[in-house]
Amino acid sequence: MSTTERDLRDAARLEHQTDEGAQEMQPRRREVVMTGGIWPDDDETMIINMGPQHPSTHGVLRIMMELDGETVVRAKPVIGYLHTGMEKTGEQLTYVQGGTNVTRMDYLACLSNELVFALAVENLLDVEIPERAVWMRMMLVELQRMASHLLYQAANGMDIGALSMMIYGWREREQVLRLLEMITGLRMNHNFIRVGGLAADLPDGWQAATLEVCDAVEAGVAEYETLLCDNPIWQERTQGVGVITTEQALAFGATGPILRSTGFPWDLRKAQPYLAYDAVDFEVIYTDNGDAYDRFLIRLFEILESVKIVRQCVARMPEGDYRVQDRKVTPPPRARIDESMEALIHHFKLFTEGFKVPAGETYVAVESPRGEVGCYLVSDGSPKPVRLHVRGASFYNLQSMEVMVPGSMVADAVAVISSIDPVMGEVDR
Amino acid sequence: MSDATPDAPAPDAPAPDADVPAITDPVAAAVVAKFPGSVAVESHGQSVVYVDRASLRAVTEFLRDQERFTQCSDVTAVDHAADLERVAVPGVAPERFEVVVNLLSHPRNRRIRLVAEVPEADPVVPSITPLFPGANFPEREAFDMFGVEFEGHPDLTRILLPDDWSGHPLRKDDHPARIPVTFKGDPAPR
């Protein structure tokens, strides 16, 4: 059969009659050389959109991928589908209300966002918070890190095809969230870390409940380790996939587990300690290969480090006040409002007007489960910020996809996206 | 912008952290020595250098290559159009916009912040994306939100808002949520 004949036959096969008329596709003209193992050059690549409504893109992330066959040549994240103008909203809320706004940015690590906002405001106010509040904040943020990494284990398992892993991850995460609900009153979006301290003291019986959760999470992590770490299918799917070097990670602004997976042990909790991280004992987990498997391992073992910190917090939780007793920042106790006129006025002024923050600007950064979360805050002396900018860790980490995805298969791209662990609420804000 | 030496602060400088007698931070001192017109201040214990916007990229390159600043943590902009009170930095002529670059040095374990004043009439600054590819998204975000253009950026398009959006919502005079509403039976405007 000559080439022309084959083309004609293909063209006939590709022609289908529908209600809308003939649907034609151009037959592809190319000579296929069956020997030699080299296919003739085909410079045609295809651009496909993955997302924004794709089950494995973690929210509404769209990726434009240029494909050569099944290999990805280029990948460009397209974002903004979850943009709700939270930085603009932040300029219209007082510092008292600001926590409710920032907590919704990275909705899987709400307390990290509340923490960085509170630290930034306290930096401008020059407020020193009591010891107990510092340790409570540290414990809550570490519990949050456990919950976030457990969710990553679940979602990552689901993306790669280990579906039972999804159920296990959610199971342990739910226990952590139940504990957070017991302490803060809410499972997510707590608004518990306030400027000047916290919203409330720890409830009765928190030690026993926290230690119980620590035990459950440790047992769960041991189970995941057995299930996945030496699993040949899991290793095939993740080892050598989405490789990034330290230089690339630094250049693209990647932080957190992505940077640590390249053999660069950078963790703000150790490098630039805030809260009381210099007083607790924990390790920075890092590996050398920079692939999806390493990022999985780092997040798995960081859960255990967080458990270690939480146990130390339970053992060493200082007594004292959970917020500063500065009536400019902290509302008076409920009982005082009934008996003191001044307390009532303070309460009223604080929740209607808010408190004034001296003019100035500051940048504060903390280590969230996803990397460096920063808050750049500009005040003009009024009760509302002039500019509330949050440096979302995922926003920067997502860019490193441009070097991690090309060269891999489409199915591996899913594993890479999952290993970045992006939270679109934080990316789009 | 004159060759400002912080030894001579304006007598009416309101912020106490603005009139530091000498530059204590060696990196900030090196930048001021190399780029005349730069002003180094300390803001809440953080080292901040106000640079001429034309030299923003040169300063960043100097910090990356000479002073071992390995990562660009953040690029953002601020609109000061509606400030009640603004901290005056002696030697810096305040403009409506500020482009703020936060750099991090891993080997030295320290940060520095560069601030460039950008006038409303000509909101253009050089892009630092050729130096730090990670500045790509945040510069696009600043362009999208403030309309500040980054010269030399490879792909300066809107990032969070749709391409056909008009206006830059984080500008103080832009009110994206305010849509004129006509109610049923509304009397005609008088």
Residue of A381, A391, A399 lying closest to B85 (CB–CB): A381
Residues 237-256 (A) with a CB less than 8 A from some CB of B: 250-255
Q: Do A376 and B86 touch (CB under 8 A)?
A: no
- Cβ of A87 under 8 Å from any chain B Cβ? yes
Residues 176-215 (A) with a CB less than 8 A from some CB of B: none
Cα separation, B59 vs B158, in Å, equals 26
User: What CATH fold (topology level) applies to the domain A86-428?
Assistant: Cytochrome-c3 Hydrogenase; chain B (1.10.645)
Cα separation, B153 vs B162, in Å, equals 19
Per DSSP, the residues of A201-251 read PPPTTHHHHHHHHHHHHHHHHHHHIIIIIT-HHHHHHHTTSS---HHHHHH
Residues 364-393 (A) with a CB less than 8 A from some CB of B: 365, 372, 374, 376, 378, 380-382, 386-387, 389, 391
pLDDT one-digit tens code per residue, B100-125: 999 999 988 899 999 999 998 999 99
Q: Do B134 and A123 touch (CB under 8 A)?
A: no
Cα separation, A174 vs A20, in Å, equals 52
Q: Which residue of B has its CA nearest to A391?
A: B74
Model confidence at B14: pLDDT above 70: no
């916009």: which residue's tokens? B97
Residue B117: in which H helix or E strand, if any?
A: strand B110-118
Q: Do B159 and A79 touch (CB under 8 A)?
A: yes
Share of chain B above pLDDT 70, in %: 82
3-state secondary structure A17-66: EECCEEECCCCCCCCCCCCCCCCCCCCCCEEEEECCCCCCCCCCCEEEEE
By C-alpha distance, which of A80, A83, A78, A71 is closest to A49?
A78
- What 8-state DSSP symbol labels residue A400? G
Q: What is the pLDDT of residue A22?
A: 46
Whether B150 contacts B130, CB under 8 Å: no
Per DSSP, the residues of A334-345 read HHHHHH-HHHHH
Cα separation, B130 vs B132, in Å, equals 6
Give φ, ψ of A20 to 5 degrees.
-95, 15
CA B182 to chain A, closest CA, distance in angstroms equals: 25
Higher per-residue pLDDT: B5 or B59: B59
SS3 state at A199: coil
* Amino acid at position A124, single letter: L
Cα separation, A12 vs A24, in Å, equals 9
Q: What is the pLDDT of residue A7?
A: 62
Residue A377: in which H helix or E strand, if any?
A: strand A371-379
**Residue from A258, A387, A391, A403 to probe the interface with B (highest B Cβ count within 10 Å):** A387
List of residues 6+ apart from B176 with CB closer than 8 A: A85, A88, B167, B169
For A369, A391, B102, B169, the CA distances from A427, given in Å and listed in that order, are 14, 9, 18, 17
CATH superfamily of B1-190: NADH:ubiquinone oxidoreductase Nqo5 subunit (3.30.460.80)
Q: Do A359 and B87 touch (CB under 8 A)?
A: yes
CA atoms within 13 Å, Cβ hemisphere of A237: 23
Measured between beta carbons, which residues in chain A are less than 8 angstroms from residue B71? 250-251, 253, 255
């006025």: which residue's tokens? A345
CA B186 to chain A, closest CA, distance in angstroms equals: 30
Give φ, ψ of A65 to 5 degrees.
-120, 135
Higher per-residue pLDDT: B90 or A131: A131
Per DSSP, the residues of B26-79 read HHHHHHHHHSTT-EEEEETTEEEEEE-GGGHHHHHHHHHHTS---EEEEEEEEE
Q: Do A386 and B15 touch (CB under 8 A)?
A: no
**Annotated domain spans of chain A:** 1-37, 86-428
SS3 state at A198: strand
Asked whether the CA dihedral A247, A248, A254, A255 is positive or negative, the reply is negative
Asked whether the CA dihedral A221, A224, A229, A234 is positive or negative, the reply is negative
List of chain A residues with pLDDT < 70: 1-43, 55-57
Whether A125 contacts A98, CB under 8 Å: no
Cα separation, A155 vs A109, in Å, equals 15
Measured between beta carbons, which residues in chain A are less than 8 angstroms from residue B111? 363
If you count them, how many residues does chain B have?
A: 190
SS3 state at B184: coil
Q: What is the pLDDT of residue B3?
A: 43
Global pTM value? 0.84
Cα separation, A65 vs A75, in Å, equals 5
Q: Which residues pair with B102 in a beta bridge?
A: B74, B113
Whether B148 contacts B97, CB under 8 Å: yes
The torsion defined by the Cα of B171, B174, B177 and B178, in degrees rounded to 10, comes to 160
Q: Which two tokens stand for residue A168?
A: 């296990």
If you count them, how many residues does chain A have?
A: 429
Measured between beta carbons, which residues in chain B are less than 8 angstroms from residue A429? 160
**Annotated domain spans of chain B:** 1-190
What strands, in cross-sheet order, belong to the sheet with B46-51?
Answer: B39-43, B46-51, B110-118, B97-105, B71-79
- Cβ of A52 under 8 Å from any chain B Cβ? no
Measured between beta carbons, which residues in chain B are less than 8 angstroms from residue A374? 73-74, 102
Q: Please report the number of interchain residue pairs, chain A to chain B, with beta-carbon separation below 8 angstroms.
A: 114
Q: Which residues pair with B42 in a beta bridge?
A: B47
Whether A112 contacts A97, CB under 8 Å: no
Q: Which two tokens stand for residue A162?
A: 């280990």
Q: Which two tokens stand for residue A145?
A: 């890190």
pLDDT one-digit tens code per residue, B44-88: 888 999 999 899 999 999 999 888 899 999 999 999 988 888 888
Asked whether the CA dihedral B5, B7, B11, B13 is positive or negative, the reply is positive
